[in-house]
A and B are shown apart, each in its own frame.
Chain A
Amino acid sequence: MDIRFHELEADAAERDAVDSVLGPPVSAWAGGIRDIETEGHSATFGGHAARSQRDLLLPVLHAVQGRFGWLPPGALNYISRRLTVPPAEVFGVATFYHLFSLTPSPPGVIHVCDDIACRIKGAERLCSELEGISVPQFTWKRSPCLGLCERAPAVMVSQAGENPRLFSHGPVVATSEIVAAANSTNGKPEGLESLRRSVPQAGQEGLRLIRRIGRVQPDNLNAYQADGGYAALKKALEMGPEGVIREVLASNLVGRGGAAFPTGRKWEAVAKAAARPHYVVCNADESEPGTFKDRLLMEGDPFGVIEGITIAAYATASERGYFYVRGEYPLAAQRIGAAIEEARAAGLLGENIFGSGFAFDIELRRGAGAYICGEETALFNSIEGKRGEPRNKPPFPVHVGLFGKPTVINNVETLANIPLIIAEGGAAYAGVGTSGSSGPKLFCVSGHIVRPGLYEIPFGRTLRELIDMAGGVPGGKGIRAILLGGAAGMFIGPDKLDVPLTFEGTRAIGATLGSGVVMIFDETVDLADILTRVAAFFRDESCGQCVPCRVGTVRQEELLSRLRSGRTIGSRADELALLKEIGQAMRDASICGLGQTASNAIESAFSNLNPIPGGKNGA
């Protein structure tokens, strides 16, 4: 490949930031200085060797963004040279993620979540206050859901420099808090106390998935092992890969990311795939508005997830795993990173785990602000250093996945279930919940609710029971609407409170459990405003690859604006019919799940809740 580079050269600091990830360049091929004496005329490190590192593109961009607060063109040019990636493609990748900036900006950025959960808790007020003040060396930006809905309104603060800082903060009562947090030299330590605030059930008897959260130190392998940790992996190694898959199949476990695909069948397909190597990926790019369960699992019980992914690797004969954590989860990434290192040091990752001859290791990757990268094939592209655009399916990841190889990709919560299944047996696990939905399930309860947070209940309880557990609506107000399953889910009315929270139960009322979001809106909510934000979210987060989603999400948002302002084109009925057609085309013709579900919540609100009352005919 003959690549032409810019003449813009990186300065010493920029090269240093890049080299901090890639190490110093070893040859002229990779941006170093040509030494004809040692290199001769053949490249010692060129061509394929350099190009095979393209998957380090995102980590390198993170390093540069973290050092300078933006991506200087000279640094991008140097990255192109080091990784032998054409400059136009590096630019294409860098401009894909909203946590990267291509223009010079202050080192500090306050990312203010103005998404639905924070919106009803005063995010707009925070934004307008921030508009009025200036914090030296800081700027602020609106952000899509930061996954801190139980602590709404929330912000994330990033500060570039030699030791870049990135931390979340919430709930924010006053802007002065943000300013103080931004200027403090060390972030607030997040201990068991803060976990217990987010998990109201913490420490209760009878919990399974979240039994350790808020009770056992999350950053301590010994504490994890003392609490029964890694017993499941040991047992799995005795059972053999087929035995593990048999138990997972028997458990009837289905994926907890939203699509509900049977996990055992996925594993079986990869285990049987002839192509090598196999990969296992943990999808921790949780970005569905209203969802924060994976974040709390990673922050509160990181070893549990790592044990799960290790068992998945053993069952599917994978030697390498990737843990892809969304860019807005600094604490989760830090805990998972530390846990991987600790497990490696203890011989629980690496060569010869538990002396069984089984070898497996995990690489941690951080997203950089793109909801679409939660789509499994987009996530693969993101890891590979390409734009996070979904691939067409088939072929499915179990046949052609990461780096084109058979890949198991599971959600964090799904993997957290694995040690349970191995420990208690697939059949016993299947006995929990209902016949159609087995096991315990995590729900992210937020919005107008007394005790927002993460709740674990067995499948089969009703929505009303869950809301009661969380203390009901504050002030004794009535419920206007409930968002089930996140922005890609459905709005239902208070008449549906007795729906059993199972896959089959929600399907029966035309809704979905999705990622386990239960967001409650009381009767004071401006539903039209919420819908507009949902529409804006999908427009912002569409990757732009396929026409139905790229333009459909824009047209959907414009149409909502027309309905709200009353300046419709044609009659209101025409507009509602057009909204349906836009939704149908996105659902039928989009490449991936984002476009296919981008109209769900909005259409369901119109069919169930009359969110934007019209003239005399109503909706």
Chain B
Amino acid sequence: MSDPIWFTPPPRPSRPPEAPKKAEPKQVDIIIDGRPMQVPEAWTILEACRSIGVDTPTLCYLENLTPVNVCRICVVEIKGARTLAPACSRKVEPGMDIRTDSERVRLSRKMVLEFLGSSVDLSTAPQAQSYMNRYDAHPERYGPPAASTVAGERDAREPGHHHTPDGSHAATVHQPVKVDNDLYVRDYAKCILCYKCVEACGSDAQNTFAIAVAGRGFDARISTEANVPLPDSACVYCGNCIGVCPTGALMFKSEHEMREAGTWDESKQHKTDTICPYCGVGCTLTLHTQDNRIVKVTSPMDASVTHGHLCIKGRFGFEFAQNTAEPKD
């Protein structure tokens, strides 16, 4: 009698099985500033530039949003193309010969910065300021900036005919700041219309659709429906629009008030990463503290859970940590 045949299972794997290998991304040959290189075909020109340390300025681009290519500051020259191309959204193509610092590129970048600098208040946009220095932009070339309009005037403008300017002032978007809730302010005198807040409020992050671009041309603006105050709109106060705003047009009310009072001092601020205490999702919070008080909350763009986006609790619900008032009985 022979031994019974026992089925022996294979030994337990010591680690989980590996995922099947992804196909190698197809590489394309391109040239950036005379440097031949190979990059994956799904890349944009911006990604290719950044991979070799070519610093390309961007204002309306953000890693966690769909590129809208409206600010046009990232334009590059492609050999043989009639116009410049936006690096942030244009995909690489085989044989592209790209110049990122030609005279045409520098002129367009300078002019975009002058156009913005002469029409928008960039005082809380350090990034834009540094670009202005780099490209030698002189917004004062267009004359003294026009004074602020009264509240609501710009919001009521209809598309079409406008009054012919006399050229004595450079038209601006200056207007009073909108303070209509306790959490954040909207200072559209600082808005460069980069569309980021609309994207973050819409399908790129929050899917709330409380704001959209309204109006046309120079009178285009970010608006709620019929320009109602935020509390009457669909806004859920997630603050993701603040998180993506590149110019400080959207700002924590706490920051806005401290800036008004002259007490905002970033050199005295600390950033501390922690995990949001509210629910089980585990969002990374970056607490900005000054004089041991939380003054602002953000989330790192590369945090795998949030990609930089938060909800109202994580973003604004921090007062309990520093409310020293005696509890009432």
Query: A residues engaging B (CB < 8 A)?
Result: 1-4, 6, 73, 76, 80, 86-92, 95-98, 101-103, 141-144, 369-370, 387, 392, 394, 532, 536, 539-548, 550-555, 557-562, 564-565, 567, 569, 578, 581-582, 584-585, 587-591, 596
Contact = CB atoms under 8 A, between A and B. Distances in A.
B225 A585 contact: no
Name the residue among B104, B159, B170 with the largest chain A CB count within 10 angstroms.
Answer: B159
Tell me whether chain B's interface is mostly helix, strand or loop, or mixed. Answer: loop
Given A76-B226, A565-B167, A539 B212 contact: no
Contacts of A144: 160
A172 to B, nearest CB: 18
B71 A550 contact: no
A541 B218 CA distance: 10
A95 B220 CA distance: 9
B166 interface: yes
A72 to B, nearest CB: 10
A387 B108 contact: no
Contacts of A98: 158-161, 216
A587 B83 contact: yes
A532 B214 CA distance: 26
Interface of B: 69-73, 75, 83-84, 86, 89-90, 104, 107-108, 111-112, 115-116, 118-119, 141-143, 156, 158-162, 164-168, 170-171, 192-193, 207-220, 223-228, 232-234
A581 B71 CA distance: 17
Nearest to A582: B111
B111 A546 contact: no
Contacts, number: 212
Contacts of A540: 159-162, 217
A565 B118 CA distance: 21
A558 B71 contact: no
A589 B112 contact: yes
Nearest to B220: A544
B215 A96 contact: yes
B86 A88 contact: no
A87 B234 CA distance: 9
Contacts of A545: 70, 220
B209 A73 contact: no
Contact of A561 (B167, B192, B227): B167
Given A3-B209, A550-B218, A558-B142, A87 B161 contact: no
B160 A369 contact: yes
Given A91-B214, A91-B225, A557-B164, A588 B158 contact: no
Contacts of A394: 90
A576 to B, nearest CB: 13
Contacts of A550: 115, 193, 217-218, 220
A381 B250 CA distance: 28
Given A540-B161, A544-B217, A550-B218, A585 B112 contact: yes
B214 A97 contact: no
Given A91-B214, A565-B166, A588-B84, A6 B225 contact: yes
B168 A544 contact: no
Nearest to A392: B69
A561 to B, nearest CB: 3
B209 A88 contact: yes
B234 A95 contact: no
Nearest to B160: A98
